[in-house]
Chain A
């Protein structure tokens, strides 16, 4: 009897131990949460409105641009959110407003939209592209949309003025998605590429059904549009050079683009992600024109000659070879793509090798960005997802309408692992996410995130882990180059380790990131540290004696 009681006691203890042991990883995971949702505490209450209607007009499923920018120059990143708009049968109970949130520096944001001049648009809003086009030190804003777009000049006093007509960048009659600021002719002024998506009309919407339920039509039903390129004249006006530059010939459904020097010749090139149209790799020919080398790079189509549904795009060195690789977000069943640039054509398709295929089979991807979230010196990857078809689950149970974002950790060689368990609650919940912007809003050296979700509040995520590692940040100010230094290449040498980053134009999906560059350096502070900057002007600047764990403003020398 005594033995039996002892035996039972042991079993009870074993069960208690098992319960605790099983629960421990869960508790630990909660404590280790990489990103914490701080939307509520930050005071961000704005909500997106898409004009969703029974007509199922495609634009209802595509808007939600977001930008990190320091609009008032106080050294703290603020947030701008672009609203969608009404459709003939998708009316809003109240006025449709964008939102500008000023960072108060204490984790909270103040809604300053009403006095900013950015509150309302006269068109359906899509995305935001931030760039200081007049080099006055204050970031300006291009807002894309349908059936036009708008340029807002930052007056430097907390207000913006709509200068679209004067500047000549209305992009009239077109449904535009991404805007990309970059200085293609290296004259020191930011030019503007506008991705145009498809022909669209609110009248007579197309009727497409899925299992008897009306839903959005396949994108191929809508004809694509040419790209628009505006050259900055340096006097507040722009000239439409779409034809002269050759980009007008590239008719298709463009949604995302990133400007970066892909062949290291010092001139900015473009990777354009297009939806069921071949992706483009537009190489700058140094004479104001571009040549598409997408077929040579083998980034235009998949192996079967099918153009995937490219939406978001970003570029960064994920293998440590010093050259930009590309990520493109696509539709479910297509996998999001990674192309590694080995310095020659064709680029290598690393979609499977990187493990991205395994993580993204059921996802419809939008905003994306390479970021070193843990500051270990290796670029990781974040992607936000969400389907368009409200009834997709009726037939495809494992393809969800609302989909969780992905945080993928790079092993340093371009192979990724999912961080879903540790990434935070937001990475385990489903969203209809669209825009994604990355930036360090509390200046702790760790990259934070914000993403939008159709007809929902945005989600602001604070990075809890990056600041634990050594880091160094740079804010570049061009003099001969454009003030934002878009197009600069930064090479950091730390105890023999070489890290390469670029200040890119565009990237993600209809969104705009923090333009500062942060290098993560891992656990150990390096003994030797030096930085080489190749400015967009071509000037090389070498800097040593760098201090860790802070941002440094680097101005382009006026005399080489």
Chain B
């Protein structure tokens, strides 16, 4: 696939989409450093493109170059304030950089500007869930509302169901939690954390056999995930989200 993109670039070097697709494919294959090279080339060739800047930000975020990623995403937002990807990337970068106040500001802004973007509603909810301060009832309600909105906009995101399931676990509504986790597992059967969460609920319900089964699936998927991750990863090199 990669060769096909490279070939396309050589044939049509003025076609921005070839660069973007190659960069995205490289990121998905965890070749973030190479993706960064492609993104830089795209930015050089298409300096007015918000998408090229976003790709660069994404590659920089993947390689923990957070200062650079902030600059790339900021520029992308300037170039196209209507680009939801750039707005989300900027918020995520600040979050990864532990700049929580700025992250909160950009998440809130993105959620307000793009109320119909399911992914933005979801990521904002996850951000609020992971804040180190204890949840207030207002924040809990806000998280739930964001997740419900995300689900309403796009019912096919496993992560949304996973997070709704976790809220149900906190509220000790275990049947509801299982329904959400099962929906998530159906959408993305390889998502190990869903099976971990299901095992946790089954254990709490005293359904030991079901818990063991889900734990086995979690362990198998987790091992695969670790195997797939880069063999020469440096400690602390990967952003946590």
* A interface residues (Cβ-Cβ under 8 A, vs B): 206-211, 215-221, 295-296, 298, 301, 303-306, 331-335, 346, 352-353, 355, 357-358, 361-362, 387-389, 392, 395-399
Tell me the minimal C-beta distance from A383 to chain B in angstroms: 15
Given contacts A295-B203, A303-B166, A396-B64, contact A358 B233 (CB under 8 A): no
1/0 per residue B204-241: CB within 8 Å of A?
A: 10000001000100100010001001011111111010
Known: A305-B218, A362-B98. A395 touches B233 (CB 8 A): no
> Contacts A208-B232, A396-B236 given: A305-B196 contact, CB under 8 Å?
yes
User: Per a CB cutoff under 8 Å, which of B132, B203, B236 touches A387?
Assistant: B236
Residue of B nearest to A359 (CB): B132
Number of B interface residues, CB 8 Å? 37
B237 touches A296 (CB 8 A): no
Residues of chain B touching chain A, judged by Cβ–Cβ distance below 8 Å, are 63-67, 97-99, 132-135, 166, 192-193, 195-197, 199-200, 203-204, 211, 215, 218, 222, 226, 229, 231-238, 240
Given contacts A210-B236, A352-B133, A361-B98, 9 further A-B contacts (CB under 8 A): A206-B232, A210-B235, A216-B234, A216-B235, A335-B132, A346-B203, A396-B236, A397-B67, A398-B97
| Distance between Cα atoms of A306 and B231 in the complex (Å) | 18
Contacts of A208 in B (CB 8 A): 232-235, 237
> Which residue of chain B is the closest to A331 with respect to CB atoms?
B236
Q: Which of B135, B203, B236 contacts A296 (CB 8 A)?
A: B203
> Which one of B97, B215, B232 contacts A396 once the chains associate, using CB atoms below 8 Å?
B97
Q: Is A398 in contact with B98, judged by CB distance below 8 angstroms?
A: yes
**What residues of chain B lie closer than 8 Å to A335, measured between beta carbons?**
132
Are A301 and B196 in contact, CB atoms less than 8 angstroms apart?
A: yes
Contact of B203 with A220 in the complex, beta carbons under 8 Å:
no
B236 touches A388 (CB 8 A): yes
Is A218's CB under 8 angstroms from B233's CB? yes
Chain B residue nearest to A305 (CB atoms) is: B196
Please state if A399 and B236 are interface contacts (CB–CB under 8 Å). yes
Q: Name the 6 nearest CB pairs between A and B, nearest first.
A: A305-B196, A357-B132, A210-B234, A218-B233, A333-B240, A395-B64
In the bound complex, CA of A361 to CA of B200 (Å): 25
In contact, A358 and B132 (Cβ under 8 angstroms)? yes
User: What are the residues of chain B within 8 A of A358 when measuring CB–CB?
Assistant: 132-133
Is the CB–CB distance between B132 and A346 below 8 Å?
Answer: no
Report whether B237 and A210 are in contact in the complex, using a CB–CB cutoff of 8 Å.
Answer: yes
Q: How far is the CA of A398 from the CA of B193 in the complex (A)?
A: 29
Q: Could you tell me the distance between the alpha carbons of A220 and B226 in the complex, rounded to whole angstroms?
A: 8
Q: Which of chain A's residues has its CB closest to B99's CB?
A: A398
Report the bound CA distance from A304 to B226 in whole Å. Answer: 14
Contact A397 B97 (CB under 8 A): yes
Q: Is the CB of A209 within 8 A of B64?
A: no
Sample (8) of A-B pairs whose CB atoms are under 8 Å apart: A295-B215, A331-B236, A346-B203, A352-B134, A353-B134, A361-B132, A395-B63, A396-B66
Say which residue of A220, A296, A304, A392 sits within 8 Å of B196 (CB atoms).
A304
Provide the residues of chain A in CB contact with B222, threshold 8 Å.
305
Contact check, B218 vs A392: say whether CB atoms are below 8 A apart.
Answer: no
Within the complex, the shortest CB–CB distance from B152 to chain A, in Å, comes to 24
Q: Are A211 and B235 in contact (CB under 8 A)?
A: no
The CA of A77 and the CA of B240, in the complex, are separated in Å by 42
Q: Residue A305 contacts which of B64, B197, B233, B234 (CB distance < 8 angstroms)?
A: B197
Closest to B194 in A: A305
A380 CB → nearest B CB, Å: 19
Q: Of B133, B199, B232, B236, which is within 8 A of A332 by CB?
A: B236
Pairwise interchain contact B192-A305, C-beta atoms closer than 8 A? yes
Smallest distance from the beta carbon of A168 to chain B beta carbons, Å?
34
Report how far A149 CA is from B203 CA in the complex, Å: 39
Q: Which A residues are CB-close (under 8 A) to B204? A: 346
Contact A306 B193 (CB under 8 A): yes
Q: Provide the residues of chain A in CB contact with B65, threshold 8 Å.
A: 211, 395
Which residues on the A side are within 8 Å of B235 (C-beta)? 208, 210, 215-219, 388-389
Task: With CB as the reference atom, state the residue of chain A lying closest to B199.
Answer: A295
Q: How far is the CB of B215 from chain A (nearest CB, A)?
A: 7
Instruction: Tell whether, in the assembled complex, residue A221 and residue B231 are in contact, meaning their CB atoms are under 8 Å apart.
Output: yes
The answer, among B98, B135, B234, for a CB contact under 8 Å with A215, is B234
- Using A211-B65, A332-B236 as known contacts, say yes or no to A220 and B133 having CB atoms under 8 A apart: no
Instruction: Please name all residues of chain B whose beta carbon is closer than 8 Å to the beta carbon of A220 when the two chains form the complex.
Output: 226, 229, 233
Q: A301-B196, A303-B166, A395-B66 are in contact. Are A217 and B233 (CB under 8 A)?
A: yes
Within the assembled complex, what's the spacing in Å between the Cα atoms of A333 and B66? 15
- Cβ distance A304 to chain B, nearest Cβ, rounded Å: 4
Rounded to whole angstroms, the CA-CA distance of A306 and B194 in the bound complex is 11
Give CA–CA (A188, B97) in the complex, Å: 52
B residues in contact with A221, CB < 8 Å: 231-233
Closest B residue by C-beta to A353:
B134
